[in-house]
Structure 1
């Protein structure tokens, strides 16, 4: 239905409903949406059905409406991609600390290396291959990635300490002679962390500030 200025009142109402659903992750009933948006219940129902047909909204078995996958996909397209943002930062980090820097993401219950930046040095170093999978309850990368999300009842006890500190350091926890420093990357759709690993014990102190700065730079891309 066009309005006096040539816009679409129906579209504006549908967008208002979608915005209201986005404000309530636990979902709303049709009546609650109607009240919040100041619309008649029958109009609200038709709008919700249209949003459901296009997957902008979904309805659960209890009759509560939530934002659907199409809206989430649209939001993903609008935000920067984590790996695209992280790549140049990690390349610089690897040069700065002279050690392998990587992006770690939680995928399928494991800490998966999704980007690797190698230092220019030709000396001995620990390297992570792309797609490397490590446990989440051991190793700097996995612990920091878990700490990038909200607290969960079933998470390892160490994760709360990492979340509070903003970083974690480990020595020979996954590989003999390997020293690692990692920092969480909160705010992204996936649980993730910046990770640095090397063969020098000094890395635990030398890389701490650079790793935290790298995490802050990557996080700043969201804002």
Structure 2
């Protein structure tokens, strides 16, 4: 009798375990597919020249067929577009995804960033906090500059390095484990670093006033020249003030 009673229970437990394992496996596969799709979208959106199917396959380390399927799915939703030259570029659907508070921040800040870039003849950016990273939401390069540093929208680096990261950390509530750089930036109202993200480059950053529903953000300048970084501080702070006024 014991065997007759327990066998169905054991069978039920076995099948339940198999179903759970199968569900977990499906979730893992789904997560991997989603992660690949988001990674491809990021690569395409930040590429100035567009990318080919083979380049996507190389980036992901997958077969060309898998890369093609991901691009085709993104194309179906108009998130990417295949141009006549066979290269994929950002599609109109990206504009829909870009709506909301990030779009508001970028739209308000860009004219002031252009003015700042022109004044200091250096690349400037609007950087936002995303988890434990500083992410470029808008990047403006100086017009007619003899030379300047360049990086893409979507570029990111850890918050614990670079002027933007230090500035964003300084906007948080003070903690005992804050670095000396964060404490100094909090005290003087801006952060200044050297060679922490780009070797040999100076960074200057100051945070915007908090905006409800928006991530912490800062204006960041990057240059190879120490004298430019030094004299750009007042201009960066003035740009922040103007953006704050426009957002208030």
Bin the TM-score by the shorter chain: 0.5 to 0.7
For the 8 Å contact 1:148–1:192, the answer to whether it is kept is no
- Is 1:212 aligned with 2:234? no
Bigger CA drift: 100-109 or 181-190? 181-190
SS at match of 2:247: coil
- Bigger RCO (CA 8 Å, 6+ sep): 1
Q: Deviations over 1:138-181 (max 9, x none)?
A: 10011112223333455444322212211111121222221111
SS across alignment from 2:200: coil
Equivalence for 1:192: 217
The gaps in structure 1 that reach 5 residues or longer are 1-76
Aligned position for 2:115: 92
Which SS does the other structure have where 1:124 is aligned?
Answer: coil
Instruction: Give the length in aligned residue pairs.
Output: 148
Corresponding residue number in structure 2 for 1:126 = 149
TM-score, normalised with respect to structure 1 = 0.60
- The question of whether the paired residues in 2 share the 8 Å contact of 1:116 and 1:130 is answered with yes
The TM-score normalised by the length of structure 2 is 0.54
Deviation at 1:214, TM superposition (A): 0.6
Tell me which structure has the larger Cα radius of gyration. Answer: 2
Contact 1:146 1:192 in 2 (8 A): no
What's the secondary structure of 1:90's corresponding residue? helix
Match of 1:163 among 168, 172, 186: 186
User: 1 or 2, which has the higher helix percentage?
Assistant: 2
Question: Moved runs in structure 1, 4+ residues, more than 6 A?
Answer: none
1:124 CA displacement = 2.3
Deviations 1:67-101 (A, max 9, x none): xxxxxxxxxx79x9221211111011000000000
Residue 122 of structure 1: CA displacement? 4.7
Instruction: Note closer, same or farther for the CA distance 1:202–1:127 as it changes in structure 2 (3 Å cut).
Output: same
In structure 2, distance between residues paired with 1:154 and 1:140: 18
**2:158 equivalent to 1:135:** yes
CA distance in 2, matches of 1:156, 1:111: 17
State the partner residue of 1:107.
130
In structure 1, distance between residues paired with 2:132 and 2:108? 24
Runs of 5+ consecutive residues of structure 2 not aligned to the other structure: 1-99
Residues 106, 153 of structure 1: CA spacing in aligned structure 2 closer, same or farther, 3 A cutoff? farther
SS in structure 1 opposite 2:151? coil
